[in-house]
Amino acid sequence: MHRRWICVLLAAACGLFAARATRAEDPAPALPLGEKLHYKITWLGIPVGTGELRVEEKTTLDGREVYHAVGFIETNRILRKIFPMHDEAESWIDAVTLESLQFEKKIDELILNTHEKMTFDSPRRKGRFESLKSGETQEFDIPAAAHDVISAAFWARRQELAPDRPARTVLIADRKEWELELDTVGVETIKWQGKKVEVLRVDPVTRVGGEEKRGRASFYLTLDAARKPLRIVFKAPFGSVVGTLEPEKG
């Protein structure tokens, strides 16, 4: 799986993980139409890029009501000269179950350029992969309800987590099943935009075939019903990548 979409997009994705804490409100009942979250991304404290995810619209797909969400990650102007990257993803999410019906991604990087689409048929427990560049297609098995990295984030937003009650689901990427477990750490205080803010910290763990993948992430979420991640920290062998939510303009 393209690791950045698990470690960064899953985090920045959309006002992510809902969880119960002492002073946290219940999660919002529906996806926030029109919400746009923009992140400044740094590596070892150095600005390297930006990320954004927005809920575009509520529409229909194959006769089912869906939310359409779009996200991107790209390197900044300076880093782009040595490592150009502009990755985009779109998800069509069932408005009732929050499972994914369709996921499309475009990867445009220095040595990687792809355009792929996956569709999910949960009644048949089948997924279909299609490369929109090479024409390759493949059918594969999926669980009863499939998630992509964006729909998994919205699903997680509506869970009632507690330190002793992790939430688990399965997401599909690159035709593989990834186990996703959300561990609630508790309420912590961080500094954001020059102020001390109380947030809820949630740590996800991803596994393939029972093997935990390298790198750990922490998400720091507002305690209100919006559940906006103010900060995302991904700790990897090459150093920490941090996404910081930018204040809304206007």
Q: What is the pLDDT of residues 35-93, one digit of tens each?
A: 899 999 999 999 999 999 899 999 999 999 999 999 999 999 999 999 999 999 999 99
Q: What pLDDT does residue 11 have? A: 41
Q: What are the pLDDT digits (tens) for 130-175?
A: 999 999 999 999 988 889 989 987 787 777 767 777 888 888 888 8
**Which CA distances in Å does 234 have to 41, 106, 166, 217, 218?**
11, 22, 19, 4, 7
pLDDT at 4 over 50: no
Report pTM. 0.83
pLDDT at 224 over 90: no
At 2, the pLDDT band (50, 70, 90 cuts) reads very low
The whole-number pLDDT of residue 196 equals 96
Tell me how crowded residue 248 is: count the other CB atoms within 10 A of its CB.
9
